[in-house]
Amino acid sequence: MEVYFQVITDAETLNSACEKLSQFESLGFDTETTQLDPFEGIIRLVQLSNGVETQVIDLKPFMEKGELKTLPELAPLRDLLANPKIEKIAHNAKFDAKWVKHHLGVDVGGFFDTMLASQLIAAGDQDRRHSLAEVASFFLGQELDKSQQVSDWSAAELSQSQVEYAARDAATMLPLREKVWEKLKSDELDKTARLEFECVAPVAAMEQNGFYLDRGRWLEQLEKVKKMQAKLADELQDMLSAGVAQASLFGRAEINLDSQAQVTDALKNLGVPVPESTRGWQLQPLANEYPVIAKLLEYRSVAKGLTSFGENILEFIKPQTGRIHADFRLIGAPTGRFSCSNPNLQQIPHGEEYRRAFIAPEGKKLVIADYSQIELRILADFSGDENFINAFNAGADFHAMAAAQVFNVQPEDVTSEQRSFAKRLNFGVVYGIGASRFAMMTGVSQNEAENIMRRYFGTYRKLDAWLREAGGKVLRERLSRTASGRMMRFRFDETDGKAIAGARRNGMNFPIQGTSADILKRSLRLLHDSIAGTSAKLVNIVHDEIIVECDANEAELTCKKLEKAMCDAGEEIVKKVPIKVDAKIADEWVK
């Protein structure tokens, strides 16, 4: 592909180029950087293309004149990037957003992200890949040579092939956008796409902000957990070796407690009826009868905490900021949920010994807000079930209200067992729970589980009908959608009963989990706009929870803004039941 481009190295050319570029509605946008992390490297090139001409802006000469963020010569570029009316088409825009924000001080307005678009179009097809090379090949039939991607972008003089590569990637974005947009429109994914694109800036900002973890407190808490683990390991060794003959002769036969095979053997020697899998939920019913099982589960939980969330996490604290800057994937799951890694801040154990180490730094506060029962409220809204809706409108204790309805007793007469049944079913229906699983987790017989579920769905007939229809629809149409229009396609073998059942459950779960993600994403955008220019910074999100850090004297106001953003986002979609957000100001990340 021939690309007409010019390399800009001086203020005058930059100024006139920006003036010309600002006539266009959308521009291909790309950056070349010396590293993957904005804290580590420099941003060398910014490329902007109108599809015909491509401007390759070399920032090196500007860096020598001073700080890029404030350099007057770069003002035209900063203004162009910030202008939300000019769409910036980028592939994995979060990457470019972070670099531009960090080094140019610009919150880029108006993204079109071809990677997110490709993910939406793939609609859950895990085989599809979403690198620029793959996406360009898929939509344009064009093979991109990415060999220069990792070349030396810090070189004094960039090679011809480097600048050509840089220009070509930016120039590709326009035709790619056309094809991708066509497909988004025809798949009716444009609304979801906009929702996603508007989240790029908030999430880029969040990653750059980082989440503060107090090293000293973390280590202090870890010591307690280590002691507990040592004690548990010792007790478990004793219990497990009781069944081994050699134990009495040669002392205790040490086994590797982390080895599935060894632990299973030891349990069998003790006469424990080991289920096929020793996963927690399969072992749980045995825990009462066999103390060794209870001990094993306790050990595994503590060991998990130590290995996954032990000292390792401290290595993620960036020396430049003293904070953790995790990677969030905007479309981490086909449902639209985020995923998070390095480290996964969405799976920090709930226990205080872990979360208490995430604190507000001196002079700051954390504002923590989460949606109350958002998935169940979505289900209530979708199904229109009057009884279910009433349980929410009654306020107070939703699970108890549900129990009162299901077991036909006065709310004040609900037993804790009845409330527990209702609560487990309330959560379970969202996943398409079956009687076997319900029996397993509650300890009641299969028969009784079926009876309780019959009562439950008898109480919530429209809920039942909606779930059946959602499951059935997937089998007929092989497609499911969320409130925003996010789509999941299903492929399964019609003769495979297991696959059919799986698809059915997905059909029930996808619209609910996905709509919850839609709502959260909408709230992120509203929040980003309402806290712009204040001390408030987004620092973490966990599916239905948002954490913001701000100056202590702005905490009250920030709390109101966060609550409002979340409620407004929820109310745009959920109409039949109230949206409830629990928001609070705290010094530590505890509920």
Partner DNA sequence: GTGAAGGGCCAC
Partner DNA sequence: AAACGTGGCCCTTCAC
Looking at the Cβ atoms of 5 and 328, the one nearer to DNA is: 328
Q: Which is nearer to DNA, 14 or 378 (CB)?
A: 378
Q: Which is nearer to DNA, 170 or 488 (CB)?
A: 488
Q: How far is the CB of 523 from DNA (least distance, A)?
A: 13
Three-state DSSP class for residue 87: strand
Beta-bridge mates of residue 4 = 53
Q: Which is nearer to DNA, 156 or 261 (by Cβ)?
A: 261
Closer residue to DNA (CB): 50 or 509 = 509
Closer by beta carbon to DNA, 280 or else 395 = 280
Instruction: State the amino acid at position 579 in one-letter form.
Output: I
Minimum separation from the CB atom of position 275 to DNA (A): 8
In angstroms, give the least distance from the CB of 187 to DNA. Answer: 19
In whole angstroms, how close is the CB of 430 to DNA at the nearest point? 7
Query: Minimal distance in Å, beta carbon 501 to DNA?
Result: 4
Closest approach of DNA to the CB of residue 208, in Å = 18
Range list of H helices, 332-487: 352-355, 374-383, 386-393, 398-406, 416-429, 435-442, 446-459, 461-477
DSSP for residue 587: S
User: Taking the mean position of all CA atoms in its chain, how far away is CA 283?
Assistant: 30
Task: Assign 3-class secondary structure to 532-564.
Answer: CCCCCEEEEECCCEEEEEEEHHHHHHHHHHHHH
- Decide: 286 and 307 in contact? Cβ < 8 Å: no
Smallest gap from Cβ 542 to DNA, in A, equals 5
Query: Hey, CA dihedral for 475, 514, 570, 484, is it positive or negative?
Result: negative
Q: Which is nearer to DNA, 520 or 559 (CB)?
A: 520
- The secondary structure of 278-332 as a DSSP string is --HHHHGGGTTT-HHHHHHHHHHHHHHHHHHHSGGGGGGEETTTTEE--EEETTS
Looking at residue 411, the DSSP 8-state letter turns out to be G
Nearer to DNA, 411 or 502 (CB): 502
Binding site for DNA (CB under 7 A): 256, 258-262, 277-281, 283, 297, 300-301, 304-305, 307-308, 312, 329, 332-335, 337, 339-344, 346-351, 370, 427-428, 431-434, 436-438, 440-441, 496-498, 501-502, 505-506, 509, 513, 542-545
Closest residue by Cα to residue 456 from 509, 379, 378, 544 = 379
Closest C-alpha to 431, from 344, 494, 516, 542: 516
Among candidate residues 522, 581, 538, the one with its CA nearest the CA of residue 366: 538
Q: Are 338 and 543 in contact (CB under 8 A)?
A: yes
Cβ-based nearer residue to DNA, 280 or 322? 280
Pairwise CA distance, residues 312 & 300, whole Å: 18
The answer to whether the CB of 527 falls within 8 A of the CB of 520 is no
Q: How many other CB atoms are found less than 10 A from the CB of residue 590? A: 15
CB of 504 to DNA, least distance (A): 8
Residue 309 Cβ vs DNA, minimum distance, rounded to whole Å = 8
Question: Would you say 220 or 315 has its CB closer to DNA?
Answer: 315
Least distance in angstroms from the C-beta of 508 to DNA? 8
Q: Which is nearer to DNA, 278 or 530 (CB)?
A: 278
Please state the closest distance from residue 204 (CB atom) to DNA, in A: 18
Measured CA to CA in angstroms, residue 273 lies from 95, 264, 269, 281 at distances of 52, 10, 10, 15
